[in-house]
Amino acid sequence: MRLIKFRDRESGSSLTADHSRVGLLEGDEVVPLGSPDLGPSPLSRILHAEDPEKVIRDSRRGSIAPVPLAKVDILPPLDHQEVWGAGVTYERSKVAREEESESAARFYDRVYTAERPELFFKATPNRVAGPGQPIRVRRDSRWSVPEPELALVLSPSLKLVGFTVGDDVSARDIEGENPLYLPQAKVYDASCALGPVITLASAMPPRASIGIRMEIERGGEVVFRGETSLARMARTLENLIDWLGREDRFPNGVILLTGTGIVPPDDFSLEAGDRVAIEIDGIGTLVNPVARGAPA
Ligand code: DO4
Ligand code: MG
């Protein structure tokens, strides 16, 4: 089952009313989940239930006619969850970070092999772009990249309920200058993208077979293409979840980005007008244009 958070295009983008709804993505149609019991945070209501599939089946019963996907705006698949990130979980990320950071290079090797993973706060929901919405390059960065990452959707009890595609957009020059600048390299408006759907954990392919691919287009041409596989991650998902939950509670659930295994070459930086497409098996493709400057 693939859940989608959406808004009918006709309802406009009024700031005073939340017209968001949740549905099931089936082919190129969205089956809206209609039950009023789902309340004001319907996505969380489903994902945090004891048995999400039962809630979906029950709320599907009274549901209205399917809507063509082409007629809806897809929203980021979260309500009130914080987004956290894990880092240096693939060798490729370790090597790239060692190269970008002269003075702090040894810290990346140390965290790659250490028992404790790197975990950092990444975004509040208002900093997250949905499918088709611009991700941003900071105005004070000359070297920024997208980071395609498998994102875990965790309930308040840290049960792994689903998966989505994540982009941990990062300013490599700011991160490389001094590790104390990491929050500025990572956390700013539209520095994170999520979507297009949440695939329930029960519907995902076997972990070892999950491929992750990224393509970046500039002026209609592909300027970077890369791929990796979840099998190349140096840690287990359960290890990351365990560390995340040691001293923090997440009453609204939490999204955890699991680190990147695809890093463009060092002479590549995102530019305004680029188009980033990240595909993960079992979930789909998250596409975002790139902007620089103040968010709309
Ligand atoms: O410390 C750097 C962040 C690493 C990261 O975001 C990643 O490996 O994906
Ligand atoms: Mg990352």
Mean pLDDT by 10 residues, the chain (296 residues): 90 59 93 73 86 86 83 95 97 91 84 96 97 97 98 96 98 94 97 97 96 97 98 97 97 96 96 98 98 79
Q: Residue 229: its pLDDT value, please?
A: 98
Q: Are residues 138 and 116 in the same domain?
A: yes
Question: What is the spatial distance between Cα 23 and Cα 68, in angstroms, rounded to a whole number?
Answer: 12
Atom number of ligand 1 nearest to Cα 179: 1
Q: Are residues 171 and 278 in the same domain?
A: yes
Q: 109, 170, 172, 173: which to mutate for ligand 1, most atoms within 8 A of CB?
A: 170
The residue out of 28, 45, 74 marking a domain boundary is 74
Q: 118, 258, 263: which to mutate for ligand 1, most atoms within 8 A of CB?
A: 118
Q: Residue 36: its pLDDT value, please?
A: 58
Q: Are residues 153 and 176 in the same domain?
A: yes
Ligand 2 center from residue 156 Cα (angstroms): 23
Does residue 68 have a cis bond before it (omega within 30 degrees)? no
- 46 lies in which domain range? 2-74
* φ, ψ (nearest 5 deg) of residue 174: -70, -45
Burial of 203 (0-12, 13-18, 19+ CB in 10 A): middle
Nearest CA to ligand 1 atom 3: 87
Q: Residue 123: its pLDDT value, please?
A: 98
Give CA separation, 127 vs 56, 89, 221, in Å. Answer: 28, 24, 28
Q: Are residues 30 and 87 in the same domain?
A: no
Does residue 66 have a cis bond before it (omega within 30 degrees)? no
The residue out of 50, 74, 98 marking a domain boundary is 74
Q: Are residues 61 and 174 in the same domain?
A: no
Q: Are residues 90 and 203 in the same domain?
A: yes
Say if CB 198 and CB 164 are below 8 A apart. Answer: yes
Ligand 1 center from residue 192 Cα (angstroms): 13
Q: Are residues 66 and 87 in the same domain?
A: no
Q: Are residues 148 and 41 in the same domain?
A: no
Q: Are residues 57 and 151 in the same domain?
A: no
Q: Are residues 199 and 288 in the same domain?
A: yes
The residue out of 46, 74, 102 marking a domain boundary is 74
Atom number of ligand 1 nearest to Cα 94: 8
Q: How far is CA 10 from the centre of its chain?
A: 27
Q: Residue 191: its pLDDT value, please?
A: 98
The count of domains in the chain is 2
- Partnered with residue 33 across adjacent β-strands are none
Q: Are residues 30 and 92 in the same domain?
A: no
- Which amino acids bring their CB within 6 angstroms of ligand 1? 85, 87-88, 93, 97, 118, 147, 168, 182, 259-260
Q: Are residues 219 and 166 in the same domain?
A: yes
